[in-house]
Amino acid sequence: MHVLVLGAGQLARMMSLAGAPLNIEISAYDVGSENIVHPLTQTVLGQGLENAIENADVITAEFEHIPHDILDICQQSGKFLPSTEAIKAGGDRRIEKALLDNAAVRNAKYYVIKTREDFSTAIERVGIPMVLKSALGGYDGKGQWRLKDLNQADAIWAEMAECIAATETQAIVAEEFVPFNREVSLVGARGKDGSVAVYPLAENVHTNGVLTLSTAIADNELQQQAKTMFTAVANSLDYVGVLALEFFDLNGELLVNEIAPRVHNSGHWTQQGAETCQFENHLRAVCGLPLGSTKLIRSTSMINILGEDTLPPEVLTMAGCHVHWYGKEKRAGRKMGHINVCGDYNGELQRKLCALADVLSKEAFPAVHQFAENFSE
Ligand code: ATP
Ligand code: MG
């Protein structure tokens, strides 16, 4: 089987690693350079997109911000999974919100803003405090504003107006601020036959809008809620592949924050913590193979490595600790790799996280240090 992935970052790389044992080969389309590249070496494979589409058995995507003309060409080939409709929903918060409403899945109250007048209406209907997010192009907390007080409105509007003017189809989605207790996400797969397999929920810590720590959790009640919402969204899109739902946990009631029509950073723990990892299950789904078991095999956390290209040797020495580098050039704040750390039971995992806090710097790994501080209290 040959799978062409739109996007040539770490997600395509990890799909390639997971696909090899199943004889699934990956090539990746680098949207920036418009080259077809090898997902591990980034070597240019010297064929244009059209050729690559022709040669692929299946086409999929590792991210949602893909030019629509490229999506349309892939859709026309009849090989693209999940549907381009799902990718477009993930890349446009207006479509995403409408999708959630249509599937009757709980999400934060919102209003779409194009003009200053719309902004005033949003303030009336959604209320303050409010989170404002660009409809297109936002990720890792970028393209967002917080309105906490009415007297900030003019200053925020000036920035939002600039953002709206920069792209013809741009808008701002105003969302009620959700005073959540924590953030969790559900990653799961839906097969061509409509079968659904979800992983255990992950509890996620974000630092400055970026995921820093993600831990698989066992909570039957929340898991059930999340799976019901996952199935509603996946079925409404006739989805095939891995899909992630990010939630706010508000006193035991889940609200969907956003969806990602792809393998997700909060599912990286499955490489060591689940029977079948999310990358393999995505490939199984889009290739029409049976889904693999999503069972938790041991307590696992994932720690993102941001802006660092070396780690102290103790990380590699620690039993149950696995390092995954992405082969990227170092840049401040960039996702360079992740560490999966496992224990046979929760207490052991917690002790290992504390041991990691002793060797990892507080500046680069604030969430691990925060965990260790809370744990010792
Ligand atoms: P991602 O990289 O996950 O795609 P993003 O930039 O698309 O992130 P969101 O996930 O929507 O943006 O928001 C980033 C973070 O901001 C959330 O994880 C959450 O911590 C906070 N946040 C977003 N929306 C709200 C809200 N309505 N109320 C409270 N906090 C929010
Ligand atoms: Mg998010």
Render pLDDT for 314-362 as a digit per residue (tens, 0 to 9).
999 999 999 999 999 999 999 999 999 999 999 999 999 999 999 999 9
pLDDT in tens, 60-97: 999 998 999 999 999 999 999 999 999 999 999 999 99
Q: Are residues 250 and 344 in the same domain?
A: yes
The Cα-based distances of 24 to 20, 279, 280, 316, 343 in angstroms read: 5, 12, 10, 29, 31
Structural domain contains residue 98 = no
**Whether residues 356 and 224 fall in one domain:** yes
Ligand 1 center–CA 138 separation, angstroms: 10
25-30/2-6 β-pairing: parallel
Confidence of residue 138 (pLDDT cuts 50, 70, 90): confident
Predicted confidence (pLDDT) at residue 215 exceeds the cutoff of 80: yes
pLDDT of residue 30: 96
Tell how strand 110-113 and strand 321-325 pair up.
Answer: unpaired
Whether residue 333 sits in one domain with residue 229: yes
Residue 348: inside a domain: yes
Nearest ligand by distance to the CA of 145: 1
CATH (domain of 68): 3.40.50.20
Predicted confidence (pLDDT) per residue in 32-55, tens digit: 999 999 999 999 997 689 999 999
Radius of gyration of the chain (CA): 21
Kindly report, residue by residue over 141-158, the tens digit of the pLDDT.
789 999 999 999 999 999
My answer on whether 241 and 319 are in the same domain is yes
Compute the average pLDDT of residues 290-297: 98
* Sequence-ordered list of residues with C-beta below 8 angstroms from that of 39, at least 6 positions apart, any chain: 5, 8, 12, 13, 15, 16, 26, 27, 28
Looking at the domain assignment, is residue 91 inside a domain? no
Residues 216 and 240 grouped into a single domain: yes
Cβ atoms of 338 and 322 closer than 8 Å: no
Structural domain boundaries enclosing 289: 182-376
Report yes or no on 351 lying in a domain: yes
Assign residue 123 the CATH number of its domain: 3.30.1490.20
One domain, residues 278 and 322: yes
Residue 324 alpha carbon to ligand 2 centre in Å: 22
Mark whether 233 and 350 lie in a shared domain.
yes
Domain C-terminal end among 135, 157, 176: 176
pLDDT at residue 104 in the model: 96
Query: Is pLDDT of 163 > 90?
Result: yes
Q: Among 176, 200, 222, which residue terminates a domain?
A: 176
Q: What is the pLDDT of residues 166-202, one digit of tens each?
A: 999 999 999 999 999 999 999 999 999 999 999 999 9
Determine if ligand 1 sits within 6 Å of the CB of residue 183. Answer: yes
Is the same domain home to 191 and 321?
yes
Q: Is residue 86 part of a domain?
A: no
Ligand 1 pocket residue status of 178, Cβ below 6 Å:
yes
Nearest residue (CA) to ligand 1, atom 26: 177
Give me the pLDDT at residue 120, please.
Answer: 97
Q: Which residues pair with 146 in a beta bridge?
A: 131
Asked if pLDDT for residue 132 goes beyond 80, the answer is yes
Measured in Å, residue 142 CA sits from the centre of ligand 2 at 10
Residues 228 and 370 in one domain: yes
138 lines ligand 1 (CB under 6 A): yes
Q: What is the CATH number of the domain that holds 304?
A: 3.30.470.20
Q: How many domains is the chain built from?
A: 3
pLDDT value of position 127: 96
pTM: 0.96
Do residue 208 and residue 278 come from a single domain?
Answer: yes
Note the pLDDT tens digit of each residue in 106-120. Answer: 999 999 999 999 999
- Kindly report the protein residue whose alpha carbon is nearest to atom 21 of ligand 1: 209
Ligand 2 mean position to 2 CA, how many Å?
30
Q: Which among 147, 176, 205 is the end of a domain? A: 176
101 lies in some domain: no
Neighbours of ion ligand 2 (CB under 5 A): 246
Q: pLDDT of 247-283, one tens digit each?
A: 999 999 999 999 999 999 999 999 999 999 999 999 9
Pocket-testing residue among 131, 176, 268, 335, ligand 1, by greatest number of atoms within 8 A of Cβ: 131
Nearest to 119 by CA among 169, 163, 65: 163
Per-residue confidence (pLDDT) for residue 340, from 0 to 100:
98
CA of 132 relative to ligand 1 center, distance in Å: 10
Does position 222 have pLDDT exceeding 80, yes or no?
A: yes
Instruction: Look at residue 118 and tell me if it is in a domain.
Output: yes
Ligand 2 centroid – CA 246 distance (Å):
6
Tokens representing residue 230 in the block = 């996952």
Tell me if 102 is assigned to some domain.
no
Distance of CA 376 to the CA centre of its chain: 30
Distances (CA, A) of 84 to 6, 90, 220, 237, 341: 12, 10, 33, 10, 35
